[in-house]
Amino acid sequence: MGNCCAGSGDAEPAAAADPSTRRAGASVQAGGASPSSAPAQNKPPAAIGPVLGRPMEDVRSIYTVGKELGRGQFGVTSLCTHKATGQKFACKTIAKRKLSTKEDVEDVRREVQIMYHLAGQPNIVELKGAYEDKQSVHLVMELCAGGELFDRIIAKGKYTERAAASLLRTIVEIIHTCHSLGVIHRDLKPENFLLLSKEEDAPLKATDFGLSVFYKQGEVFKDIVGSAYYIAPEVLKRNYGPEADIWSVGVIVYILLCGVPPFWAESEHGIFNSILRGQIDFSSDPWPRISPGAKDLVRKMLNSDPKKRISAYDVLNHPWIKEDGEAPDTPLDNAVMNRLKQFKAMNQFKKAALRVIAGCLSEEEIRGLKEMFKSMDSDNSGTITVDELRKGLGKQGTKLTEAEVEQLMEAADADGSGTIDYDEFITATMHMNRMDREEHLYTAFQYFDKDNSGYVTWQVHILSSSTDIHTSELTHSWPCHGCRMQLHFQGGARAGPSGEGAPGRQRHE
């Protein structure tokens, strides 16, 4: 669900939990009241929660839950304050109604277990406690008030290959630690690396282990998870292991050095085809001015054959990444910084546009979609399972093979939960029924075209979407270097630089 631990700038960094409390599947505050405040003798024992498998407990009895920090399709993250100490944390709340299958419940249990398993690592967000009540599961975590990695880079205004190498060293050390402890992250991307505070020397922290898994040597995974730009080719082929994490970090390094992803297209399907082709561009600017060592490492990390791909250990011993190694200390081209800003803004723009389009649907259209959802949700759980989808489509006279039903389910299930919730259903049916038709797209375009010029500049979008990016109008387009960075409306509109299509959405938030 994105940056589950990011917070406001005035929040204080959280203190580390007592190591004696760190055990898999156990809350930091689990175990009931202290001896000095023993419960009444006749008080009935708390019911055992079906998700965490231990007595249910009200997180609000220990923490004051405050403002919302972020929201994803799977849950909401809020600022919370420990009542006894005043320390601030991030509380990720997962609605139990969305955990409609055994696999969903196991996923949440596994996330909690993995975070406790990784406790004590200096560059991994620490889980302070896991709580379950009748409605939700709450994960209280270290608050990272320093924001996302890319935001820090953009705020600095310029950086060097040596700075990029230093960041990569920290990220790969995190991955090496995870792999050494038998964990594959499976969703590595810039948004999942946060800074603990706004201090210059604040530590970088890895977060969001919702898609992570425990693994044993030689074990193979087949489920397709992750975020489109960063997915390894073997993940798309449903035959992968820890090497997939190295690929994802290789994509991050490529973006850090040139400002654009190595594999992109107008759609998610196009991105996946580009990944499977595996052709990496080292000829366009600024690559001719990037050091040979950097290009050598990126090539080794983005080797399409996972058996030949460099390991985390070998990355850390590469001459470019080593402290005082080969990475030059000269600033990277300013165009790289501009493209980083645009890469971030493009994704924000797409999300904002989808919100506007959703708001354009008529009451009749919304009512029809609601009724369709209700008719398929036979057990009134608020989610649609693959079996309900199969039966619901059959009742409507839509005949699909089992494989086609599963493909449809996978495409609509944006958060990878194994079920389709209402938001996912609306998004999927908007595409299926072509509700992204021209008048809706044009309404969304007009929302951003503040001066009715027929163009949308990045400056206008940035101001409209209330992001934290403060910049003058960007003049180096992404990814077509050197063009004016603006969007204009065409029939059957495609949002992107000079009419080109924008990159596909992230598969999981």
Q: Taking the mean position of all CA atoms in its chain, how far away is CA 259?
A: 19
Residue 187 designated active-site: yes
Question: 96: annotated binding-site residue?
Answer: yes
Rounded to the nearest 5°, which phi and psi values hold at 163?
Answer: -65, -40
CA dihedral angle for residue 230, residue 235, residue 240, residue 246, rounded to 10 degrees: -10
- Helices vs strands, H then E, count in the chain: 15, 13
Amino acid 485 reads: M
Max CA separation in the chain (angstroms): 76
List beta partners, residue 94: 75, 137
* DSSP symbol at 369: H
Per the CB < 8 A criterion, the answer to whether 7 and 77 are in contact is no
Catalytically annotated residue among 107, 151, 187, 208: 187
Conformational region of residue 261, where left means phi above 0, alpha means psi within -120 to 50, and beta covers everything else: beta
Rounded to the nearest 5°, which phi and psi values hold at 455?
Answer: -135, 150
Per the CB < 8 A criterion, the answer to whether 80 and 89 are in contact is yes
Q: Say how far apart CA 152 and CA 193 lie, in whole Å.
A: 11
Q: Decide: helix, strand or coil at residue 489.
A: coil
Q: Taking the mean position of all CA atoms in its chain, how far away is CA 76?
A: 13
Q: Say how far apart CA 133 and CA 129 lie, in whole Å.
A: 13
Terminal C-alpha separation, the chain: 4
Rounded to the nearest 5°, which phi and psi values hold at 300?
Answer: -70, -35
Catalytic residues: 187
